[in-house]
Amino acid sequence: MISAALEHRVRAKELLNRVTSPQEAASLVEDGMSLGIGTGDSIACPKTFFTALAQQAKGRLRVKLFTGGPVPHEVDGLMVEADAYERRFGQFSNAWLRDAANERRFPLLDTRTGTLPHQVRDGRFGRIDIALIEAAAITEAGYIVPTTSLLDAPSYAVLAEKVIVEINPQVPPEIEGIHDVYIPEVAPHRKPIPLEKPGDRIGTPYIPVNPERIAAIIESSLPDNPPPRAATDQNSQKIAHHLLEFFSNEVKRGRLPPNLLPLQFGVGAIPDAFAAELAKSSFTDIEFFTGTFGDGGLDLIDAGKAKALSTASLYLSQEGFQRLYRDLPRYKRYIVIRPVVLADCPELVARVGLIAMNSGIEVDIYGHVNSTHIQGSRIVSGIGGSCDFMWNAFLSVVLLSSTARRGAISCIVPMVTHVDHPEHAVDVIVTEQGLADLRGLAPVERARTIIANCAHPDYKPLLSQYLEEAINSRGGHEPHMLEKAFSFHLRFAETGSMKP
Amino acid sequence: MISAALEHRVRAKELLNRVTSPQEAASLVEDGMSLGIGTGDSIACPKTFFTALAQQAKGRLRVKLFTGGPVPHEVDGLMVEADAYERRFGQFSNAWLRDAANERRFPLLDTRTGTLPHQVRDGRFGRIDIALIEAAAITEAGYIVPTTSLLDAPSYAVLAEKVIVEINPQVPPEIEGIHDVYIPEVAPHRKPIPLEKPGDRIGTPYIPVNPERIAAIIESSLPDNPPPRAATDQNSQKIAHHLLEFFSNEVKRGRLPPNLLPLQFGVGAIPDAFAAELAKSSFTDIEFFTGTFGDGGLDLIDAGKAKALSTASLYLSQEGFQRLYRDLPRYKRYIVIRPVVLADCPELVARVGLIAMNSGIEVDIYGHVNSTHIQGSRIVSGIGGSCDFMWNAFLSVVLLSSTARRGAISCIVPMVTHVDHPEHAVDVIVTEQGLADLRGLAPVERARTIIANCAHPDYKPLLSQYLEEAINSRGGHEPHMLEKAFSFHLRFAETGSMKP
């Protein structure tokens, strides 16, 4: 029995014989297989398929899963519960997966979002057996029209032996045309990528997979369940305010064009606060070149500020998706959804002159950034696309609150316990306390600036004391006292607070 | 009085009236000015100019110096002695400069070689007043033909208000034609860089500076003084052997093409040993895309192995330069000298699919690399181009001995005291003990592999003990005991050995 929705959306009628149940589709998966997934948190994720797979997997099979972006509980939660991961590659946000990774119940590979599909393609991790793609439609020629995310879906769809398509009728068919699918060649055959501006379109509006490899088509039966919009807070607003002031000054000094350079930021309270500040600002014609965006992106389009918004995925709230769907033709004039190998591409990040804005768990007085591991050991978030953005940006900005846990943790520390982004990849640090412009500063100058401008007043004396004692007792270009470098963290582990 | 050499080499006869003494040229420099230097260690560096400048500078002026590569004692040594640096940007190798940086007598900015010229150009460090370029000739049109290095010379020559050219008659005029000068636009006007293969030529064989800005021309009067060829050693040979074996296996498995992918390595004993192994191997038609190369590069050309050698500079030995000069027309068929903004360019590193091979001071059990600071504090080497190579390579390989100081130091440690290259940028680690292929491994798997394959037997039990205790007492995705993470380093500081 093929539903009316599928009859309508599968336009290649000869593929209608591939329509099957989620259970049948899931039975194509065998023990030890590698699955590549086109992701998105709730919307854009083939969660009906994974719900069926997790049910069948328990005790029967384990798979390797490759994903660019975080996936919802229907994937990571259920698969972890079913003990169905042999190995898990890529970004995540699910708490069950995070706990399993910290208990090392299976190996979690915290890979770089923009690099993973290239690495998969060069064969270092073996082949991809099945790609799982959520789609809005299949075209007359049998090509796949994705929904609100591309990320690594096109890479896996092209690589995999079989492709399983989950059609999601909750996504309006008018989403078609928002995508720009272009997959760079791999070395030694790679050519210059012909994209110059965030709004350029250089590919196709569908994933051009050979229809013969579409092994199954199923229909989504689970409701999309995006999160509510993140509430704003005072710290985020202050951070956004410092940042806008900095950009205004850079323009005044002639170091940034009047419409800035293309901006990258993620989702959450700080990006939303920044988008709100930007919407009120005098900047216009702003371009965005980012891996994902939230409701703030729609706000900027509505405020007439956005010239083009290039992204690999939409992580909107429930309300944000409703806004998008209500007015899709208008939003489509601004938004381009691309594969992550373009969205997070070092070549393009450098070419467009990206202003990268990323968060961190903690930064140290010399500007090294920890964005993944608490107390050096416990992973709380994957690295995602931040390496490819920060390491190749025109300007790399780190945004975070000066404290966490109601002040018990200083997010500015003598030495971070895990380095994801070294000093060589950080230009500016912003907290609610202020902004530290580290460009052109030597390590001790950076330390004084970060402590003075970014640290919370409760921790300034402690940080200054560490710095001056390190300078006087050890010296060197970047003075540290190794026996005291983690004193803040050890105090917290012992007393529950970094305060003495 | 214009020498016969200058009469011959300055082909734009209207510029002969700019010929002057080193002292006159040096007097153009004023207190607080920014100087950009086209570098090279001894050869390719305007050392006659700097010798004169250092003499005049003492007590009279301080300058900001920008350089891509390390410069010889005639620059860094004499300028440090004259207390003539207000601020110093870029790579270095001089011991006097290193000591001054560690005593923080002036701010040393350890910038990324490939990125610095772009950053200078965007204005964040102010303007460049004078560019100092060593040249083999000035063409009829007044353009500058450099010697054996380009690095950031073209960027500064184009940016600076004035250009001072030091003609070095010790370099044969036949060097002309070896260079390929192309400077990418800056954002928001940057276009795809039209280079696809290491041997491609996309620019001009000279630096196209407006001749009106050539403020002075002087003649080199100091002898070029390149170092002797680095002696080989057993550890380097073992490292090279492990690496060759790895590449052979990758080709057998179909994960690398039969002629490999373009290779990047630096200068020193390990690169020379690797070049020697490669020269004996069955690999042919090998391409090199690197920031610099030493005598090993010539060996590979002579052995008929090199298809093309793209570099920003030649750091040959005395003997190597003699070889090069004797047979320049033949070597020029293989060698292309490029600006560092191309040689170390993330876009091109990713496009050619670079196999990056770089050294480190120490690596930790999880694969983080320290390449600059001893005991977390004391800088021993600048970061150079390693970020741009390692962070964007197809395959990033770290080469180092398992121990230093006759075994008193383990170069594999629980946690490195300074991170220049995080785990996200490292694929393979090689010591004389063996090779650790980290691709596809989670942190604890990486730790076990590094300890088993790369650590020195004297330190294996200590490292394993740390790892297992961290797993059992702390747990987490990447288990660490913060109070013991630097126990090796603290023991060394106390007793002179990392051994208990």
Instruction: Report pLDDT digits (tens) over A231-267.
Output: 889 999 999 999 999 999 999 999 999 999 999 998 9
Compute chain B's Rg from CA coordinates. Answer: 23
Alpha helices in A253-355 (DSSP H): 269-280, 295-302, 318-326, 328-332, 340-343, 346-352
Q: Do B440 and A108 touch (CB under 8 A)?
A: no
Cβ-contact B289, B193 below 8 angstroms: no
CA distance A209 to chain B (A): 24
Residue A399 phi, psi dihedral angles, 5° rounding: -120, 125
pLDDT beyond 80 at A153: yes
Cβ-contact A140, A26 below 8 angstroms: no
Nearest alpha carbon to residue B106 among A468, A452, A445, A366:
A445
Q: Do A420 and B424 touch (CB under 8 A)?
A: yes
Q: Do B187 and A103 touch (CB under 8 A)?
A: no
Span B397-412, average pLDDT = 98
**Paired tokens of B179:** 């260079």
Q: What is the pLDDT of residue B66?
A: 97
pLDDT digits (tens, 9 = 90+) for B264-307: 998 999 999 999 999 999 999 999 999 999 999 999 999 999 99
Q: Do B441 and A107 touch (CB under 8 A)?
A: yes
Nearest alpha carbon to residue A104 among A116, A90, A87, A92:
A87
Confidence of residue B1 (pLDDT cuts 50, 70, 90): confident
Q: Do A476 and B125 touch (CB under 8 A)?
A: no
Q: Do B480 and A375 touch (CB under 8 A)?
A: yes
A61, amino acid identity: L
**Paired tokens of B5:** 């050499």
pLDDT digits (tens, 9 = 90+) for B446-488: 999 999 999 999 999 999 999 999 999 999 999 999 999 999 9
pLDDT digits (tens, 9 = 90+) for A439-487: 999 999 999 999 999 999 999 999 999 999 999 999 999 999 999 999 9
Q: What is the pLDDT of residue B444?
A: 98
Cβ-contact A107, A379 below 8 angstroms: no
CA distance B353 to chain A (A): 5
Span A310-336, average pLDDT = 96
Q: Do A255 and B109 touch (CB under 8 A)?
A: no
Residues A409, A415, A421, A423: is their CA dihedral positive or negative?
positive
Q: What is the pLDDT of residue B403?
A: 98
CA distance B27 to chain A (A): 27
Residues of A in contact with B123 (CB under 8 A): 253-255
Distances in whole angstroms, Cα of residue B215 to Cα of each of A494, B56, B60, B64, B155: 65, 18, 21, 19, 17
Determine how β-strand A85-90 pairs with β-strand A108-109.
parallel
d(CA B331, CA B325): 9
| Among candidates A186, A387, A475 on the partner chain, residue whose Cβ is nearest the Cβ of B103 | A475
Burial bucket for residue A490 (CB in 10 Å: 0-12, 13-18, 19+): middle
pLDDT beyond 80 at A38: no
CA distance A101 to chain B (A): 6
d(CA B29, CA B333): 39
Q: Do A350 and B346 touch (CB under 8 A)?
A: yes
| Among candidates B387, B474, B483 on the partner chain, residue whose Cβ is nearest the Cβ of A377 | B474
Q: Do B187 and A490 touch (CB under 8 A)?
A: no
Burial bucket for residue B214 (CB in 10 Å: 0-12, 13-18, 19+): buried
Residue B212, number of CB atoms within 10 A of its CB: 10
Would you say the pTM of this structure is higher than 0.95?
yes
What is the per-residue DSSP string for B298-360?
HHHHHTT-EEEEEESBB---HHHHHHHHHTHHHHHTTEEE-BHHHHT-HHHHHHHT-EEEEE-
Q: What is the pLDDT of residue B186?
A: 87
| Among candidates B110, B111, B476 on the partner chain, residue whose Cβ is nearest the Cβ of A378 | B476
Confidence of residue B159 (pLDDT cuts 50, 70, 90): very high
Query: Would you give the distance in Å from CA B346 to the centre of its chain?
Result: 15
Is residue A465 helix, strand or coil?
helix
pLDDT digits (tens, 9 = 90+) for B92-114: 999 999 999 999 999 999 999 99
pLDDT digits (tens, 9 = 90+) for B133-154: 999 999 999 999 999 999 999 9
d(CA B422, CA B363): 10
pLDDT beyond 90 at B128: yes
Q: Do B478 and A418 touch (CB under 8 A)?
A: yes
Bond preceding residue A188 cis, omega within 30 of 0: yes
What ipTM did this prediction achieve? 0.97
What is the per-residue DSSP string for B195-238?
--STT---SBSSB---GGGEEEEEE--SPP-PPPPPPP-HHHHH
Query: What's the angle, vertex CA B360, arms to CA B358 and CA B362, rounded to 5?
Result: 150
Burial bucket for residue B302 (CB in 10 Å: 0-12, 13-18, 19+): middle
Confidence of residue B400 (pLDDT cuts 50, 70, 90): very high
Q: Running DSSP on this structure, what letter comes out for residue B71?
A: -
Cβ-contact A145, A420 below 8 angstroms: no
Nearest alpha carbon to residue B40 among B313, B283, B243:
B313
pLDDT beyond 90 at B38: no
Span B13-29, average pLDDT = 98
Query: Between helices B318-326 and B295-302, what is the axis angle to 10°?
Result: 40
> Which of the listed ranges A217-231, B228-242, B430-444 does the model predict with the highest average pLDDT?
B430-444
Choose between A378 and A225: higher pLDDT: A378
Confidence of residue A68 (pLDDT cuts 50, 70, 90): confident
Q: Residues in chain A, how many?
A: 500
pLDDT digits (tens, 9 = 90+) for A268-290: 999 999 999 999 999 999 999 99
Determine how β-strand A286-289 pairs with β-strand B108-109.
unpaired
Span B52-72, average pLDDT = 95
Q: What is the pLDDT of residue B68?
A: 87
Residue A109 phi, psi dihedral angles, 5° rounding: -100, 110
CA distance B13 to chain A (A): 39
Compute chain A's Rg from CA coordinates. Answer: 23
Residues of A in contact with B424 (CB under 8 A): 110-112, 383, 387, 420
pLDDT beyond 90 at B40: no
Cβ-contact B101, A477 below 8 angstroms: yes
Query: Would you give the distance in Å from CA A274 to the centre of its chain?
Result: 17
Q: Residues in chain B, how many?
A: 500
Cβ-contact B305, B279 below 8 angstroms: yes
Span A480-496, average pLDDT = 98
Determine how β-strand A369-370 pairs with β-strand A34-37.
unpaired
Residues of A in contact with B419 (CB under 8 A): 368, 419, 422
Q: What is the pLDDT of residue B138?
A: 98
Q: Do A352 and B478 touch (CB under 8 A)?
A: no
- Residue of A426, A477, A483, A489 to mutate, testing the B interface (most B Cβ within 10 Å of its Cβ): A477
Share of chain B above pLDDT 90, in %: 94
**Paired tokens of B316:** 């040959």
Q: Do A377 and B420 touch (CB under 8 A)?
A: no
| Among candidates B108, B261, B479 on the partner chain, residue whose Cβ is nearest the Cβ of A188 | B261
Average pLDDT value for chain B: 96
Q: Running DSSP on this structure, what letter comes out for residue A368?
A: -
Distances in whole angstroms, Cα of residue B309 to Cα of each of B302, B331, B335: 12, 10, 5
Four-point Cα dihedral B297, B155, A250, A269, nearest 10: -20
Nearest alpha carbon to residue A425 among A351, A381, A367:
A367
Average pLDDT value for chain A: 96
Determine how β-strand B428-431 pairs with β-strand B434-437.
antiparallel
Where is average pLDDT lowest: A29-43, A160-174, A203-217, B137-151?
A: A29-43
Task: Please tell me which residue of chain B has the smallest CA distance to A107.
Answer: B442
Which residues of B274-390 form beta strands (DSSP E)?
286-289, 306-311, 335-337, 355-359, 362-364, 369-370, 373-374, 378-379
Question: How are the residues of chain B apportioned to helix, strand and coil, as percentages rounded to the nearest 5?
Answer: 35, 20, 45
Span B313-328, average pLDDT = 96
